[in-house]
Amino acid sequence: MPMDMDKATATARAAELRQLINRHNYLYYVLDRPEITDAAYDALMRELEAIEAKYPDLVQPDSPTQRVGAPPAAGFVTVSHAIPMFSLANAFTAADLREFDQRVRELAGVDKVSYVVELKFDGLAVSLQYVDGLLTTGATRGDGSVGEDITSNLRTLPTVPLRLQQPYTLTVRGEVYMPKATFARLNAERQEAGLPLFANPRNAAAGSMRQLDPKIAASRGLAIYFYNLASIDGVNLTTHADSLKLMREVGLRVNSDWVVLDSIDEIIDYCLAWHEKRHSLPYEIDGLVIKVNDLALQSRLGYTAKSPRWAIAYKFPAEQVQTKLLDIEISVGRTGTLNPTAVLEPVTIAGSVVSRASLHNADLIAAKDIRIGDTVLVQKAGDIIPEVVGPLVDLRTGAEEPYVMPTTCPECGTQAVRAPDEVAWRCPNVSCPALLREGLIHFASRDAMDIEGLGPAMVSALLAADLVKDFADLYSLTQAELLTLERVGVKTADNLLRAIDKSKQNSLERLIFALGIRHVGAKGALSLAQHFGTLEKLMAADQADLQQVPDIGPKMAASIVDYWQVEANRRLIQKLIASGVNTRYLDATALGDVFADTTFVITGTLPGVSREEAKQLIERYGGKVTSSVSRKTNYLLAGEKAGSKLARAQELGVPVLSWEEFLALLPAGTV
């Protein structure tokens, strides 16, 4: 705020800021559809706070600076928080952190304070209550005093224990989040389905947890970390660090990346180190939280009207860069969607060089008025998917060209179509070469038939040589045919043929997902396979039968029925069956507990899977996962940046497995 702003100007600007911030609160908290970045929102709030600090009589009871959040959305039962869920004050610089520390020490009347520093997860804040060890209620933050009852949705999360290890009555706070890889898959599926995309993992987590149908939340691959023990009956704790340890002991998932530090210099160094380290995490964080460790001192320091005096959030600077948008190209997805992609002057974002970025759909390009030749802001959604935030209009020269979405498919020239309820334009030509290429890539992908070696380059080579005209043709390929391809030798050919042959043993859910039926994801495919047992029974089911299956709604049911009615699809199924592809569901429990009496420790970053997903897989086959390596550990499952646990395993002679070696221990076709 300009220091010379007079009272009249300040009054008008404060009113404008209140209106802007309230609108963005509504978009963020109620509609789950934010329009601006966190950094832009924080700038608006700081400006209003500065005006109200200079002119205190301008502070109004309904000012955004006087409240924690936004009111609950209609459609949910409300829950009153017995202990308010306060928001945190923000720090953006080292100076802000030093000021916080000085304020704490002055209020406490001491020279030195010990702090706990934790990761600040970027998701949906929730409060859970356990009575005698049983989960009774879960709610969103809401306005801090009253939230929305989302107990049914929280119960669907594998990381939320329904019963604690000990029968405590307690209230705990946590953050529901969506892993980066899950977010990428969800948005890819939504883009193929012609649905609006989520802006970021936080937005996706909030939108998923605030669904009235718990099955939707259950299908989204969400997880939770707990970070604060708000109350507990019959236990006296002295430090926040002790409360984190107790939460872990009773079965609540606490992130291991927290430290106790005794000086503000150490805290500043720790925060700065996480600027780059955060990109290696499988989930998003937008900063760190610094809390006074001594619980008695926390109580003495108390709260302001909206935040605790004993804690502060250090926020990372926004990772956005500007570059030139050189062109917009169209690619065709496996379901025919025409996907616009920005071609950029190469620029480094979050540690990697980016030259292409998603523009999502024609409506978004028009709404943001993005033009070819614009200087644009680019960021990584979820730190993984480059996207164009918008143009820098003030830098336009007049030479920029408005973008016009093509009316025909760039691959086959067919007139594009758009359904009334979708944002995507599509190529309706089922014989379009792009649909076959993208369909084959999907068919061979990890969550589908998992054919190692059959990536985009190999698929393109097979199509260029006219060796494959549909999915089933893969199973009739020969070594002689593969050796005709450029840069394919005997070893490569034999490895690919073995991988293709191995995929015949997959359980039915993989085949269903691999077929690429619109709206049918991996979760829905598993539900269908478990319910019907065989492909024959699935193909005989009508819409009413299908809607009896968990996770299958009217839209998905109609899409499945429509798929079987296409003659070309029925011929494809017959070819796959004739090739020996399994069409039955292989119940994992019938395969035996291959990891019975086996203890694992997981460390490092695993390829394409979170540690929690790996843990669930081990437990599914009868194994046990512990947090530390000991002489009782049977295997260490190690990914990249394994660290001290790897050294400890090597010291004790504990066998170390890579992800690929671990998968090899499982029965063929069951993962």
Are residues 454 and 519 both part of a single domain?
yes
The answer on 330 and 301 residing in a single domain is: no
Whether 342 and 230 share a structural domain? no
Give the pLDDT score at 191.
79
What mean pLDDT comes out for the span 3-20? 85
% of the chain residues with pLDDT over 70: 93
- 120 in the same domain as 52: no
Chain centre to alpha carbon of residue 85: 24
Q: Does position 670 have pLDDT exceeding 70, yes or no?
A: no
Domain presence at residue 412: no
- Residue 351 pLDDT: 66
pLDDT tens for each residue of 463-480: 999 999 999 999 999 999
Residue 452 contacts residue 508 (beta carbons within 8 Å) = no
User: 261 Cβ partners below 8 Å, 6+ apart?
Assistant: 114, 115, 116, 117, 267, 270
Q: Are strands 285-292 and 311-315 parallel, antiparallel or unpaired?
A: antiparallel
Beta bridge partner(s), residue 179: none
Q: Is the pLDDT of residue 272 over 80?
A: yes
3-state helix, strand, coil in the chain (%, to 5): 40, 20, 40
In a domain, 460, yes or no: yes
Q: What is the model's pLDDT at position 179?
A: 92
Known catalytic membership, residue 120: yes
Domain of residue 445 covers 433-578
> What is the average per-residue pLDDT within 447-457?
91
Whether 505 maps to a domain, the answer reads yes
Q: Would 424 be classed as within a structural domain? A: no
Q: What is the pLDDT of residues 411-447, one digit of tens each?
A: 999 999 988 878 889 888 867 889 899 999 999 998 8
In the chain, how many domains are there?
5
Q: Quick check: 668 pLDDT over 60?
A: no
Asked whether residue 154 falls in the same domain as residue 220, the answer is yes
Task: Outline where 26-131 has alpha helix (H).
Answer: 38-54, 94-108
* Nearest residue to 352 via CA among 316, 384, 387, 317: 384
Q: What pLDDT score was predicted for residue 70?
A: 45
Q: Are 383 and 278 in contact, with CB atoms under 8 Å apart?
A: yes
Residue that finishes a domain, picked among 300, 315, 330: 315
Predicted confidence band of residue 521 (pLDDT cuts 50, 70, 90): confident
55 & 92 share domain: no
Give the confidence band of 30 by pLDDT, cuts at 50, 70, 90. very low
Q: For the residues 391-416, what does the mean pLDDT come to?
A: 93
Residues 382 and 489 in one domain: no
7, 54, 112, 120: which is the annotated catalytic residue?
120
User: Of 544, 578, 612, which marks where a domain is finished?
Assistant: 578
Report how far residue 313's alpha carbon sits from residue 290's, in angstroms, rounded to the nearest whole number.
Answer: 6
Residue-level pLDDT at 75: 65
Residue 297's pLDDT is 96
Q: Which helix (H) or strand (E) holds 586?
A: none
pLDDT at 449 exceeding the cut of 50: yes
| Strand residues in 293-320 grouped as ranges (E) | 311-315
> Residue 294's closest CA among 111, 108, 121, 99?
108
Query: Is 104 part of a structural domain of the chain?
Result: yes
Q: Read off the DSSP letter of residue 30.
A: I
**Angstrom distance (rounded) from CA 670 to CA 529:** 13
Calculate mean pLDDT across residues 630-648.
86
User: Are 285 and 313 contacting, i.e. CB atoms less than 8 angstroms apart?
Assistant: no
Q: How far is CA 455 from CA 170, 187, 249, in A?
A: 50, 21, 44
Q: Which helix (H) or strand (E) holds 18?
A: helix 7-25
For residue 86, how many other CB atoms are within 10 A of its CB? 19
Lowest mean pLDDT among 69-78, 132-141, 554-563, 638-647: 69-78
- Domain limit, last residue, from 29, 45, 66: 66
User: What would the mean pLDDT of 363-388 be, rounded to a whole number?
Assistant: 86
Residues 611 and 574 in one domain: no
Residue 33's pLDDT band, with cuts at 50, 70 and 90, is low
Within a domain: residue 2? no
- CATH number of the CATH domain containing 445: 1.10.150.20
Q: 538 pLDDT band (50/70/90 cuts)?
A: very high
Task: Flag whether pLDDT at 71 surpasses 60.
Answer: no
The DSSP annotation for 412-462 comes to T-PBPB--TT-S--B---TT-HHHHHHHHHHHTSTTTT--TT--HHHHHHH
Q: Do 479 and 620 sit in the same domain of this protein?
A: no
Q: Mean pLDDT across the stretch 210-238?
A: 90
d(CA 14, CA 26) in angstroms, rounded, equals: 18
- 450 shares a domain with 535: yes
Residues 6+ away with beta carbon under 8 Å from 574: none
- 514-525 as b/e: b if 16+ CB within 10 A: bbbbbbbbbbbb
Task: Tell me the pLDDT of the chain averaged across its residues.
Answer: 87
Q: Which of 605, 501, 627, 642 is nearest to 281 (CA)?
A: 605
Q: Are residues 125 and 177 in the same domain?
A: yes
For 256, residues 6+ apart whose C-beta sits below 8 A from its C-beta are 627
Q: Residue 629 is part of a domain; what is its CATH number?
A: 3.40.50.10190
> pLDDT grade, residue 22 (50/70/90)?
confident
Banded pLDDT at 622 (limits 50, 70, 90)? confident
Residue 39 clears pLDDT 80, i.e. is over it:
no
Q: Which residues pair with 303 in a beta bridge?
A: 308
216: domain CATH number is: 3.30.470.30
Please give the Cα distance from 622 to 530 (Å, whole number). Answer: 20
Q: Is residue 1 part of a domain?
A: no
Which tens digits make up the pLDDT trace of 225-257? 999 999 999 999 999 999 999 999 898 999 999
273 lies in some domain: yes
Same domain, 437 and 555: yes
The tens digit of pLDDT for each residue in 283-324 reads 999 899 999 999 999 999 998 877 899 999 999 876 788 999
Q: How many CB atoms lie within 10 A of CB 4?
A: 6
Whether the per-residue pLDDT at 68 is higher than 50: the answer is no
**pLDDT of 385 over the 60 cut:** yes
Q: Report how far residue 667's alpha carbon sits from residue 671's, in angstroms, rounded to the nearest whole number.
A: 8
- The residue-averaged pLDDT of 66-82 equals 66
User: CB-based contacts of 339: which residues, under 8 Å, 6+ apart?
Assistant: 191, 330, 331, 332, 333, 358, 360, 361, 424
pLDDT of residue 468: 94
- pLDDT band per the 50, 70, 90 thresholds, residue 32: low
**Inter-residue contact 47 to 54 (CB < 8 Å):** no
